[in-house]
């Protein structure tokens, strides 16, 4: 990188998603000294990106780009492009000439969780029941502790990516998460395991919560160590140390997540009738949308 001359007329541009791993020599003045961070698009940017990718494609009148931009929180530009391309493929496979809302919806969930498995004959009734209560636990905790989230879909249909089902709740566009938001999200992730525990007993819990536990563990670690939100350990971050194996930090994370699990379990126990109603309707219909969850939730009181 040495020896560049201002009169050469050469502009060097580099891109990375791991700025923290770059050699400091690259960032010295006169080299890559101008840094431009490109984050995930907000709702207005998503609307422009979707308009760009749909401009050259036949789109039905029932497709609402504004609503689609609102429901694609945390989508990158590449994911939005993939969404529209997947919808176009589904349209062609179904011998349609125009991309309609149904194709958009199917593409949306394919991008999020993978295409649904067509052959589900191997799934036992017991497995369906476990999945229904697991996903019902996530959905119910979302309604209880994250009321501002939009529950787009809850399903027990497995995907080709290995998911037995999924619960898609969409948060509002926001620049920050506060303390309550993080704790509520952790409880939402723990809702599936807690529902299994409540209905089938601790001896019959399954491996279905493994990804949920990883996400919840990451969030509680960042809550305590990265964001300094814990009252006991305060603002000091162990990440500055070369070897981060502090037993007190690990113990605190474990203690806090176990406490949140107990709170999650107790909330589901208090609302067990709603949990059962959501699970039963999932077993009957396989997939529920936001209106279905709201109807069950409101009618159970």
> Which residues form the catalytic set?
135
Which residue(s) pair with 168 in the sheet?
153
| DSSP state letter for 171 | P
- Whole-angstrom distance, CA of residue 147 vs CA of residue 159: 27
Q: CA angle, 56 as apex, 52 and 57 as ends, to 5°?
A: 105
Asked if 225 contacts 167 with a C-beta cutoff of 8 angstroms, the reply is no
Among 79, 87, 76, 78, which residue's Cα sits nearest to residue 54? 87
- Whole-angstrom distance, CA of residue 141 vs CA of residue 34: 44
For 202, residues 6+ apart whose C-beta sits below 8 A from its C-beta are none
In the numeric block, the tokens 């009738």 are attached to 273
C-alpha R_g of the chain = 23
- Taking residue 234's Cβ as centre, other Cβ atoms within 10 Å add up to 10
């Amino acid at each position: 990188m040495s020896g560049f001359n201002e009169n050469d007329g050469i502009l060097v541009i580099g891109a990375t998603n791991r700025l923290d791993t770059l050699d400091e020599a690259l960032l010295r003045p006169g080299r890559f000294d101008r840094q431009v961070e490109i984050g995930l698009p907000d709702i207005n940017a998503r609307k422009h990106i979707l308009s760009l990718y749909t401009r050259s494609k036949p789109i039905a009148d029932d497709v609402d780009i504004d609503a689609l931009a609102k429901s694609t929180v945390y989508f990158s530009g590449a994911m939005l492009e993939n969404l529209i391309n997947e919808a176009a493929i589904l349209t062609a496979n179904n011998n349609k000439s125009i991309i309609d809302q149904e194709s958009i919806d199917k593409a949306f969930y394919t991008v999020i969780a993978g295409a649904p498995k067509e052959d589900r004959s191997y799934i036992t009734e017991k497995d369906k029941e476990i999945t229904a209560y697991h996903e019902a636990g996530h959905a119910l905790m979302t309604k209880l502790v994250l009321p501002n989230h939009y529950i787009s879909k809850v399903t027990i249909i497995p995907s080709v990516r290995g998911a037995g089902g999924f619960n898609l709740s969409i948060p509002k566009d926001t620049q920050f998460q506060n303390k309550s938001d993080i704790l509520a999200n952790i409880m939402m992730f723990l809702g599936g395991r807690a529902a299994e525990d409540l209905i089938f007993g601790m001896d019959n819990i399954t491996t279905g919560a493994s990804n949920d536990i990883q996400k919840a563990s990451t969030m509680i670690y960042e809550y305590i160590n990265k964001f300094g939100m814990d009252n006991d350990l305060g603002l000091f971050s162990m990440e500055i140390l070369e070897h981060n194996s502090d037993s007190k930090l690990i113990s605190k994370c474990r203690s806090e997540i176990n406490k949140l699990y107990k709170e999650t379990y107790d909330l589901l126990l208090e609302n067990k009738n709603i949990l059962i109603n959501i699970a039963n309707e999932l077993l009957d219909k396989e997939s529920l949308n936001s209106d279905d969850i709201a109807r069950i939730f409101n009618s159970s009181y």
